[in-house]
Structure 1
Amino acid sequence: MLTATTPAPPVPAAQRRGRGARRRRQDAAGYIFLSPWLLGLLGITAIPMLISLYLSFTDYSPLGSLSDATWVGLDNYRRMFTTDPSYWHAVRVTVEFAVIAVPLKLAAALAVALLLNRTFRGIAWFRGLFYLPSLLGGSVALAIVWRSMFNREGAFNSLLSLFGIHGQPWVNDPNFALETLMLLAIWQFGAPMVIFLAGLKQVPTELYEAASVDGAGAWRKFRNITLPMLSPVIFFNLVLETIHGFQGFTAAFVVSGGTGGPVDATLMYTLDLYVKGFTELDMGYASAMAWVFLVVVGLVTVVLFSTGRFWVHYSDSEAK
């Protein structure tokens, strides 16, 4: 039996106008609440980035106005890749720092997270103590303390003297200065440790129980259960810490006195950029360095994401 559907009655024009006015008021309220963020995005990020992109093609000193910038085209980029020896040295130092410090930092964070993934009295205090160094991450005061610890009369050499070992000014030795910065970065493993700990809490205990029934040992459980289940968390920490590793600046600046010494051993890329822009007052060249840095870090991130589908395992067995 066929029945005819009754068409919906038309909405009165006054009601439609009321709905439209209400929607516009809601949109306006939303933009008002977003305005602080939008103003910050434009004034602190977007507009300065566009200005720096323009300056990268100019010869410009920060002591002058933008109208004093002289257009030089690709000369800054050509100088960067062909005639500036400090540029490639800074690239090498930064890559060495990131390649060594980031994996060791993640390994330390995972190891401590495994130790703290237990339940006993006072565990919250231990977790807080291990996280404490990360609260001071990037601070000038911490870098100053670190420099004093590893100079000739520092606490580290005092500790070595208890075992009859004669220390040296580690931060002033070009063979060890960069390693002291790596050690500082590794010591601040608290943030990835907390993320690893949260990931370990999400691993079903039934998997470990079933593995124990099958006679699996601790190493086999770690390799076949913990690592695959933590792979998304490992990937997340890897991306963040890799970006942070390339962006290292404060510790290198403080330990070296803003010069990248000794003998440019701690001349990180961002420190070299700072020296070019604010010490040598060559802001056009520094802007070109900044844009190359942005592109390279973006490409490194893309590579990490493209390789993640081969080793990152999600619980729903689908690559995100």
Structure 2
Amino acid sequence: MGKNKWTGLLYISPWIVGFIIFTVYPFLNSLYISFTDFTMIQAPRIIGLDNYKELFQDKEFLNSLVATFKYALLTVPASLVFALLIAVILNFKIKGINFFRTAYYIPSILGGNVAISVIWKFLFTGDGLINQTLGFFGINSLPWMSDPNLAMIVVSSLRVWQFGSSMIIFLAALQNIPVELYEASEIDGAKKITQFFKITLPLITPSLFFNLVMGMVGAFQEFNSAYLITGGGPLKATQFTSLMIYNYSFKFFRMGYASAMSWILFVVIMIFTGIIFLSQKKWVYYVDEE
């Protein structure tokens, strides 16, 4: 038994070494750097809690947290609803359904791509395809990139468009629901809408819980769309905390300050994740539970 254990550890040792070097060490080192004044040119100088004190007085940082919250509030519910709606549609057994399942999943593969973000930006420019389409229907062009509220919608829509991963998980959950439950409810006279809320929704809550956690974590760490589409503008309305961390790290070379930001963001994510985990007892239904 002992020999098998060491053999197994030997096989996974490349992953363990990589995890320690590229994850654990940077993670802990960033905590140390957050208590220093570090410009990458000079050696880190320990300054205690000064970075954290400055952060909570920094209106730009607080505004970035507000922008991040708005982004998460817009994208997470919309992505879940849209993914579930498409999953329900794709759960029907019709001809060519596998093609549509693949087609709807492709945006999740391409969505984080730099080229897609650039294309998305051009779609919403003054003479882009979106405004041209609006003009075709007699609607005036909208200032997507210069209006703070509209800019938030632009970057949020890209994430909502990447619903494929959540959709696949929902689809798998839908296909695991016993058909007998629907047949029994039909005998009792239940309508489709009743079946959805009384059978379908409760039985896919574990998948909903997983997608909610992953979506929330991903939304709080969003960087690409803000960096590539709006650059954090206009008026820093889409300067998410991740983008601000990048700016202070690689534009202003305030590594200690940026590390403190990243740790506050980490704590915020952990708090929200903890709240979701604590709340699951009230709304997540597991079939194995007695």
TM-score (norm 2): 0.97
Post-superposition shift, 1:23?
A: 3.7
Q: Deviations over 1:48-81 (max 9, x none)?
A: 112111110000112x25xx11111000000011
Match of 2:14 in 1: 36
Match of 2:211 in 1: 237
Match of 1:263 in 2: 235
For the pair 1:156 / 2:134, whether they are aligned, the reply is no
Secondary structure in 2 aligned to 1:289?
A: helix
Secondary structure in 1 aligned to 2:16?
A: helix
Q: Which runs of 5+ in 2 are unaligned?
A: none
Secondary structure in 1 aligned to 2:92?
A: coil
Match of 1:193 in 2: 167
Structure ID, larger Rg: 1
How many angstroms apart in 1 are the aligned matches of 2:209 and 2:6? 39
Which of 13, 33, 49 is equivalent to 1:74? 49
Q: Quick one: percent identity of the two aligned structures?
A: 41
RMSD: 1.3
Post-superposition shift, 1:317?
A: 2.7
How many angstroms apart in 1 are the aligned matches of 2:233 and 2:90? 38
Match of 2:245 in 1: 273
How many angstroms apart in 1 are the aligned matches of 2:2 and 2:19? 25
How many angstroms apart in 2 are the aligned matches of 1:274 and 1:172? 23
Which of 107, 119, 122 is equivalent to 1:133? 107
Equivalent residue letter for 2:21: G
Secondary structure in 1 aligned to 2:219?
A: helix
How many angstroms apart in 2 are the aligned matches of 1:130 and 1:170? 26
Post-superposition shift, 1:133?
A: 0.4
Spell out structure 1 runs of 4+ moving beyond 4 A. Answer: none
Kindly indicate whether the alpha-carbon contact (under 8 Å) linking 1:151 and 1:172 is maintained by their aligned counterparts in 2: no
Which of 32, 35, 40 is equivalent to 1:54? 32
Kindly indicate whether the alpha-carbon contact (under 8 Å) linking 1:97 and 1:178 is maintained by their aligned counterparts in 2: yes
Kindly indicate whether the alpha-carbon contact (under 8 Å) linking 1:91 and 1:268 is maintained by their aligned counterparts in 2: yes
Match of 1:296 in 2: 268
Secondary structure in 2 aligned to 1:267?
A: coil
Post-superposition shift, 1:213?
A: 1.0
TM-score (norm 1): 0.88
Equivalent residue letter for 2:273: T
How many angstroms apart in 1 are the aligned matches of 2:148 and 2:69? 17
How many angstroms apart in 1 are the aligned matches of 2:2 and 2:287? 40
Which of 140, 144, 168 is equivalent to 1:166? 140
For the pair 1:226 / 2:196, whether they are aligned, the reply is no
Q: Which runs of 5+ in 1 are unaligned?
A: 1-21
Equivalent residue letter for 1:253: Y
Q: Deviations over 1:139-173 (max 9, x none)?
A: 11111010000010111011111101111331232
Post-superposition shift, 1:28?
A: 4.0
How many angstroms apart in 2 are the aligned matches of 1:180 and 1:285? 29
Aligned pairs (5 A) from 1:74-153:
74-82=49-57, 84-153=58-127
Q: Deviations over 1:248-305 (max 9, x none)?
A: 1001100123xx1111011111001111111111000001111111122112111101
